[in-house]
Structure 1
């Protein structure tokens, strides 16, 4: 018997994904996917997991985790997606719509999920909406691209792959210098010695040894739930688990009297979730200047020097003509670049990038990674780049990897 068709729809940052998904699930006609008309479809996406989490929190209704005592929100991303997929398959749909199914998953979990989806594709129609070419299943039959609301079908797979390859791009000029250099006397910015952490009696980290020196470029990797976020939160001062540990930050032993705000003045931190805090009408110029004041929005009159350095960053990003554009009106990819400039404008001693390319399309991810590499080369800022995905063209000097075990994750270091 012939296997059902497997569709791939490459999305971009301007793609109206929600509208297309609703059209597919509500059986509205979609050109090129007429085979789905009249069939029953279900959605596999991060938004669906969030919907079930809200049901648990607000109404104490457990659906995905009805056979488990563990709440959905305490599970890793891999466990959550596994629970959702199991629930969907129990309903035996005719087709499934997959929206970026591999986002926020470690490499091993991605591989397992890919095998499972390929097996499902032998008996069910799959419609993949993915922002990354690497995420497309190898048994895909038909290829599309979603540009805004417009869905374009390719005549052949060769045409699709050839037209959507992206070369690494660059930035003209150099990184703007800081207005006032942040002084840190110690060459060693962060040092963890035999750090062990437990939550509710379960060991997360086991005797972690890791040091970060000035100007170093690190990538932090490890499976979901291995303790990456725990380490980051101890460094930034957002977790009390750092107290009582042999943890030194900027030359000061944790608990020796430094405040969280003293730490944050020397640290730049970016994760995509931060972007959602900026809901007001902030111009791009003011967004970058706000990084000098560590504020969400700009509530002081900027100086001439502050405006000058902000515009130097906008020149580098090739956005100088849009300095008065509102941040909220930018594409997702451009927002990430501006947020990167905001995090770097004061040249922090340490820059932490937590899953910064999650959800970006290939072109935007390449551009973001190129900017990160440039900052690593041209500044004295130490960088920690956290990502489940192996980003093409990312050039860290060192990799610190967490290895889970029953007694907690251990760590290993490699250098490129």
Structure 2
């Protein structure tokens, strides 16, 4: 194993003008084995390809890339197939090419023929050695590529989704073989499925999508850091799980709203104190199914606008405000308005100090209470457990809320606000006070809600550029 670490520093790497990795800084020590993970389109395969010397470095630098790389990827597989198909070109060839046989693909220029033969047997390819490589199935060509890479005595082994398409026995065999070479061969894997990660992996690199075909390395985690690893697992569960937002309680639904009417309409509204004008003649309509981001600096009036909607501002009755079918000031009660709103803020988290279980925090959303003062139904318990599963917190259902991390508390309060499927979910600075991993967790949950529910999301923050996938309407207030 090489003694020099691979070092990537502030690098920007371009891939044929189709994709760019931005500002990558990453160090791989000789005794480390990495998994690269992240959502589709975040650049996982691109980052792995960088280690194989692929891509144009337009900024920063890369040092100590190994000389001999063992690479298995869908791109390399497709390139090999394309090279084989070119041999059919009648303009170049005088005879019809039968294609390169599998035994030549494996054993020509093989660094370790004995290992290659052992792997051929283990992968069950003996009967295919005389067949043309291009005639193999996708799974069979993948096995050939694995044998080529493993028997090449590489300085670095790069495996991009190596377990895709393998049956259970072959998967177990490959995992065991990889474990047997970990002391001599550093490995970097690209995996979408976190549950396929081998036990010997020491570190995880998380990539995230940026704007317009770009990606960046947002987090690296040492697997021995249990807390950080658990947070990363939870984040990837939220981003990649097929679970959908749990349904509402069918036995206790909110009143049905007229779908032809907007949820909120503010007509020429103003907020002023004496001669100081905070909001000046604002028109804003929020229709059902529209997800909005409200942004602006401190003092721009974001909280004031929210309180006009919720009915908590004293000037809501001197403005032209229509919410959830009610024209404000015509005798409606504040609770008739608030039943249609789920609300999460840092202030609510400060107030939620009761020592109750995670499950009961979510169930309290059915009753709009802080703490539990009513007996939950079996349906409500089941819905709460579904929310916990969605967030990767099913093993913490009975843990006390006040013993959780700040970020997990925020996730639970969002679930509490959503449990009734309110027509409008207001998230007031939901990432305030959170570190990067917990911020990513909260944003992933918001994206899930935007994608898989009928609730309209109103996301409030300081920065207009801090956008969430699924939110396509923006209002920026100026101070």
Q: TM-score range by the shorter chain?
A: 0.5 to 0.7
Alignment partner, residue 476 of structure 2: 401
Check the 8 A contact 2:264/2:309 in 1, yes or no. yes
Equivalent of 2:278, from 198, 204, 207?
Answer: 204
Residues 45-104 of structure 1, C-alpha deviations (whole Å, 9 max, x = no match): xxxxxxxxxxxxxxxxxxxxxxxxxxxxxxxxxxxxxxxxxxxxxxxxxxxxxxxxxxxx
Deviation at 1:393, TM superposition (A): 4.6
Check the 8 A contact 2:264/2:285 in 1, yes or no. yes
SS of equivalent to 1:177: coil
Residues 101-130 of structure 1, C-alpha deviations (whole Å, 9 max, x = no match): xxxxxxxxxxxxxxxxxxxxxxxxxxxxxx
Alignment partner, residue 454 of structure 2: 380
Check the 8 A contact 1:170/1:370 in 2, yes or no. no
Deviation at 1:184, TM superposition (A): 1.4
Task: Identify if the C-alpha distance between structure 1 residues 349 and 360 changes in structure 2 by more than 3 Å, giving closer, same or farther.
Answer: same
Indicate yes or no: 2:254 matched with 1:184: no
SS of equivalent to 1:243: helix
Residues 313-341 of structure 1, C-alpha deviations (whole Å, 9 max, x = no match): 11111111111100001111111111110
- Structure 1: how far apart are the matches of 2:322 and 2:353? 36
Return the TM-score normalized by structure 1. 0.56
- Structure 2: how far apart are the matches of 1:367 and 1:313? 14
Equivalent of 1:174, from 233, 244, 262?
Answer: 244
- Structure 1: how far apart are the matches of 2:283 and 2:467? 28
Check the 8 A contact 1:286/1:297 in 2, yes or no. yes
Shift >6 Å, 4+ stretches: none
Check the 8 A contact 1:283/1:326 in 2, yes or no. yes
Superposition pairs of residues 102-251 of structure 1, within 5 angstroms? 169-180=239-250, 181-182=253-254, 183-186=256-259, 187-251=261-325
Residues 147-189 of structure 1, C-alpha deviations (whole Å, 9 max, x = no match): 9xx9xxxxxxxxxxxxxxx989444400001114432125300
Indicate yes or no: 2:404 matched with 1:334: no
Check the 8 A contact 2:428/2:459 in 1, yes or no. yes
Residues 342-372 of structure 1, C-alpha deviations (whole Å, 9 max, x = no match): 0000000101000000111111111111110
5+ residue gaps, structure 2, are 1-219, 226-234
5+ residue gaps, structure 1, are 1-144, 151-165, 405-416
Indicate yes or no: 2:358 matched with 1:288: no
- Structure 2: how far apart are the matches of 1:185 and 1:343? 22
- Structure 2: how far apart are the matches of 1:370 and 1:300? 31
Indicate yes or no: 2:375 matched with 1:298: no
Check the 8 A contact 2:354/2:370 in 1, yes or no. no
Check the 8 A contact 1:178/1:346 in 2, yes or no. yes
Task: Identify if the C-alpha distance between structure 1 residues 393 and 403 changes in structure 2 by more than 3 Å, giving closer, same or farther.
Answer: closer
Equivalent of 2:431, from 349, 352, 357?
Answer: 357
Check the 8 A contact 1:171/1:317 in 2, yes or no. no
- Structure 2: how far apart are the matches of 1:171 and 1:374? 10
Deviation at 1:200, TM superposition (A): 2.5
How many aligned positions are there?
245
- Structure 2: how far apart are the matches of 1:280 and 1:319? 19
Task: Identify if the C-alpha distance between structure 1 residues 220 and 393 changes in structure 2 by more than 3 Å, giving closer, same or farther.
Answer: closer
Task: Identify if the C-alpha distance between structure 1 residues 385 and 392 changes in structure 2 by more than 3 Å, giving closer, same or farther.
Answer: closer
Of structures 1 and 2, the one scoring higher in RCO (CA 8 A, sep 6+) is 1
Larger Rg: 2
Superposition pairs of residues 26-45 of structure 1, within 5 angstroms? none
